[in-house]
Structure formats: C-alpha cells, structure tokens
Amino acid sequence: MGATLAALRQSRALSLDELSRMAGVSKSMLSQIERAQANPTVAVVWRLANALGVPLAELLGSAPPAAAPAMGFVPAHAAPSLRSPDGLCELRILGPIELAGQFEWYALTVQPGGALESMAHEDGAREHLTVQSGALDVSTGAETQRLKPGETARYAADRPHAIRNPGKTAASAWLVVVHPA
C-alpha cells in the first residue's frame, strides 16, 4: 500500500504536510506508511482514500466487491488484506468500509516469528483478539499475555501494542478494533 499511497500523493503534487492536513493523519504516520514501516487501521486507510478522492480498493490495490441489493457477498479471494512490512502477518479485512472508524474486524494470520506491531490508535480505542489456532503473545504497555486457541484478550489500543507468534507454526485469530464513540 505504501508505494500506491506515495504514487497517488505525488501524482497530485501533494506534500506530506498537505495530505496530512487533508486526511487528518499525522505526517509521521504518512511517511511510515509510504515506507512500509506502519500498519494503518482501516479507518486511516479510509481517511487517506477520501482525501485523495480514490476508492479504498484502489489504495489497497484490490477490486471492490460486487454488491447485491439485499445481500452483499465478498468471495474469500476478494477480501482486501494488509501485510506487515516483513510479510509475516496478514490482516484480511472482513468488516464493511462504512463501519471503519467505529469498529473493524479482521482475520489475522501470523507466521512463526512474525509480529504485528502497532502505534497507538486514538484515545479510548480497544482491541479484542481471539486465537483460533496456534498461540499468540499480546503486549500493550508493559503487560504481555499469551493466548491459546479459544482464548480472548481485550486490551487498550491507545498505546503502542503488538501481537507476536512465539510458536513454530502459523497462528490465526479474529481481531476486532473498537473505536470510541
């Protein structure tokens, strides 16, 4: 996503400062996203897409799902996903974009040794992580908890936090991010 963001920003002759003001995303966060050093939330990606006047799918590099009048359907291959800079973590975006900034949910896969390290989200943000397979260590502030299948951690996400796979096999989990009202 970083290269796409940089190309879109440059094609519009926008500085990091200008896009930062337009999207309400810090200049340092924009720089880190462009250099693939940050893992933005869907809400941040949504604000950037709106500021640049492009569909979210274009910024993520995927096609938008077809919508049916009474029921939407997203095939597994069409769910947009985000990857950590090292490629060891994948977040498949499961929630509809219209809920970004309220709550988001993801299918998370973390390869052995992988770490999804996140900067603080907005004040009051919380995450809920339920492990489906493998084991994951969740850290927020100075606290760390190891989760096994079926276990859930609910934690403050308004401070730096991380999800790590200490095991020798891939781990999968559901991740829900709840933003303050």
Q: Just give the CATH number of 76-178.
A: 2.60.120.10
Span(s) in the chain for CATH 1.10.260.40: 2-60
Question: Hey, what amino acid is at 173?
Answer: A
d(CA 89, CA 175): 13
DSSP letters for 46-66 = HHHHHHHT--HHHHHTSPPPP
Indicate the pTM of the whole model: 0.63
Q: Which CATH number fits domain 2-60: 3.40.50.150, 3.30.360.10, 1.10.1060.10, 1.10.260.40?
A: 1.10.260.40
**pLDDT tens, per residue, the chain with 181 residues:** 788 888 888 888 888 888 888 889 888 888 888 888 887 888 888 888 888 888 877 888 764 444 445 777 778 888 888 888 889 999 999 988 777 778 899 999 999 999 999 999 999 999 999 999 999 999 998 899 999 999 999 999 999 999 999 999 999 999 999 998 7
Nearest to 100 by CA among 116, 131, 121, 75: 121
Q: Where in the chain is the domain with CATH 2.60.120.10?
A: 76-178
